[in-house]
Homo-oligomer: A and B are copies of this chain.
Amino acid sequence: MLRLGVRTGYDVKRAIDLSTRFFWGASFGQIYPELRRLADAGLVEAEDDPRGAVKRRTYRLTPAGKRALERALTSRGPLRYEVRDEGMLRLFFGDVLDREDVLANLRLMREQHEQGLAYFRELEPKARDGFTEKGQVFPHLALSYGIGFLEWAVEWCRETERELSRRGRSRPTPPEGTPAPRRRPARPRSGRNRADGR
């Protein structure tokens, strides 16, 4: 972010939150100590730059820091890729749940992705003409990826909901070892009663 012209820890946080957050987030508790460490390592240069009575510390990359960044962005070898997706985890165990519960999870998942999508779309016009400077095209490209993915995911959820609704009232897999799986009594859910008589 310093490389793109961002200067304070606070600004780094803000920049991340409206750009890379979707695929690489960070918290203050990470950013401030890290800037300190980078300064100790000679990769960034710190300067006190108070605004009135407010202490304020600006950073910029040193030549060594620039080189280190470039190496980090061009090295070969496997790219880190990790996901934690509770929605998918729940779906995976869908055989253990009632069909209604699975559908509720799918809806929850879809709504969450739809919210993300709405947020990204708000961001888009701003991202189109440069992130911190004019002429930048890749932040917008990254955003397009996010939008494209979320559109795909929302559509996947929708289709899966449809598919699951269409299929007959299939019962969940009986638990292993259990002789006769008793239906658990219908729990009242979020204020409204179910239309069907289960």
- A residues sitting closer than 8 Å to B (CB atoms) are 3-5, 19-20, 22-25, 60, 66, 69-70, 73-74, 76, 78-97, 101-102, 104-105, 108-109, 112, 133, 135-139, 141-142, 145, 148-149, 152-153, 156, 160, 173, 175-177, 190
Contacts and interface: CB of A to CB of B under 8 A. Distances in A.
Given A23-B88, A94-B137, 5 more contacts: A4-B95, A73-B96, A82-B84, A95-B138, A148-B156
Contacts of A66: 175
Nearest to A78: B112
25 contacts: A3-B93, A3-B96, A4-B93, A20-B89, A20-B92, A23-B84, A23-B89, A24-B85, A25-B82, A60-B177, A66-B175, A69-B93, A73-B96, A74-B105, A76-B108, A81-B87, A82-B83, A82-B84, A82-B85, A83-B83, A91-B138, A91-B142, A92-B142, A95-B139, A152-B152
A107 B17 CA distance: 27
A89 B3 CA distance: 14
Nearest to A101: B74
A101 B87 contact: no
Contacts of A104: 74
A84 B3 contact: no
A112 B3 contact: no
A3 B175 contact: yes
Contacts of A95: 4, 135-139
Residue of A69, A152, A160, A190 ringed by the most chain B CB atoms within 10 A: A152
Contact of A91 (B5, B69, B78, B145): B145
Given A5-B176, A133-B176, A152-B148, A81 B86 contact: yes
